[in-house]
Structure 1
């Protein structure tokens, strides 16, 4: 299955929707999907027919994050460049970014959510960033955005201590804007989306620029640093596994 199948791209009026479509892998994102989404975002940024970009998932999951199976042998410089550009496309996107979190979100599917402007979530969704469990550092600018939104201590729980945040907690902490019943989220949310899309493009882009502009350079720098450190963490993790294999082979 290539990215043409795993990413479904549709346009309804001035709303472009990107749907992660790999339900057998809980919509885990691989390198091809990252690159496809990056191209879609960069193209939509220059497309006057698009005012709002929406991300959602097929099936029960929003996304289980990075596809560790598909990416097992490609966590090298090329992969981290791809990941870096994917995140930067979110940071620089000048129009309204919306997420419809139709189910659980894991890893980068969570860390990039604060780079969106409006987030709808299903009541059965949860948000999980198991970086401490994996022994790697965080990405998606989450080391900067999470403390700003949910506070320093709650951010530590998510980014270091493998705590899950349920949908109600996410709403209470200002991480998402609205909650919907799981069976309603892909339908009822569109009434709100149509209302949002009727706001003038000038007002949307100008207000976002005024609000995001002061921190955009900071987000770009954070992304640069996080990806550099993540690359080192993955290399150390891989080296540790190789050392274990070598040690076992000598027994």
Structure 2
């Protein structure tokens, strides 16, 4: 029986998604894409899940697409390969769409290589933590392709247009330190601390006022698409929605009573 290319676990309010092809550096396969679509859909709908973490099995996050598979398909079944190529990208983008609409915080926990779609996946997450020896490249240009997974949308919004063009057009490998410096990563940690620090971050997010965090995500995600006039109305609509929650009253009580708040996400 073939081992699942994606593993999913829910524990103490945290949904863990593990890319599970360590022998090939977790290269993206059709089965992995389908597994990620299913996992993100199920975690989105699971009320018990208050934070989602994406990580890679083994010593790497994701080394991009399955190059050997691409070559075999292109040389042996060229017409079918090209006919299905667009739908393969659309399928992968369904995953990105579900990640972006996820009302819960999504964290990328990264070690080793993050190339091609692996970098796209990190860019689509809300927050990213990586080991200080991890490395990155958009890579597509080396096999004569542009990019997918939303990289050309998210990258200029995170690092700026000129830096995004540098990363896409040259395809050079860059360090975790540079990724942190230009805003792709939020935190760098030693390799032996990644699991503990990821859990600590996920726990802090899962224990937070997740209804309010979802609204904050929604506002930030749409801010580049709206004028200030439009956006100010969205803020004026969503803040009162948060004010009506149990979490808001609990936060006020906890502040006045000088104790940690016990948020419930409603």
TM-score bracket relative to the smaller structure: 0.7 to 0.9
Distance 1:203 1:152 in 2: 31
Q: Tell me if structure 2 keeps the 8 A contact 1:104–1:124.
A: no
CA RMSD of aligned residues (A): 1.9
Q: How many residues align?
A: 216
Q: 1:6-155 maps to which residues of 2 (within 5 A)? A: 6-71=5-70, 72-73=72-73, 74=81, 76=84, 77-155=86-164
Q: Following the alignment from structure 1 to structure 2, what is the Cα–Cα distance between the partners of residues 133 and 192?
A: 35
Residue 104 of structure 1 and its aligned partner are, at CA, apart by 1.3
207-216 or 54-63: bigger deviation: 207-216
Which of residues 183, 190, 202 in structure 2 aligns to 1:181?
A: 190
TM-score (norm 1): 0.80
Task: Check whether the contact 1:14–1:49 (CA below 8 A) recurs between aligned residues.
Answer: yes
Cα distance change on mapping 1:80 and 1:140 into 2, 3 Å: closer
2-side partners of 1:159 and 1:93: how far apart? 27
Give the 3-state SS of the residue equivalent to 2:7 in structure 1: strand
2:234 alignment partner in structure 1: none
Q: 1:91 to 1:189 in 2, by over 3 A?
A: closer
- The residue that corresponds to 1:190 in the other structure is 199
Q: Is the 8 A contact 1:103 1:182 kept in 2?
A: no
Q: Which stretch shows the higher mean deviation, 10-19 or 189-198?
A: 189-198
Give 1 or 2 for the bigger CA radius of gyration.
2
Matches of 1:131 and 1:70, distance apart in 2: 15
Q: Out of 154, 159, 170, which is 2:179 matched to?
A: 170
**More deviation, 109-118/119-128:** 109-118
Q: Note the residue ranges of structure 1 that are not aligned, 5 or more in a row.
A: 218-251
- Consecutive unaligned residues of structure 2, counting only runs of 5 or more, are 74-80, 227-266
Q: Distance in 2 between matches of 1:138 and 1:80?
A: 10
What are the superposed Cα offsets for residues 105-133 of structure 1, whole Å, 9 maximum, x if unpaired?
01011012222111000111111111211
Deviations 1:130-163 (A, max 9, x none): 1211111111222122112112222112111111
Structure 2 length normalisation: TM-score?
Answer: 0.75
8 Å contact from structure 2 (residues 5, 35) kept in 1:
no
Contact 1:92 1:216 in 2 (8 A): no
Shift of 1:18: 0.6
Segment drifting more, 18-27 vs 137-146? 137-146
Q: Secondary structure at the match of 2:69?
A: coil
Q: Please give the alpha-carbon distance, in whole angstroms, between the structure 1 residues aligned to 2:126 and 2:94.
A: 19
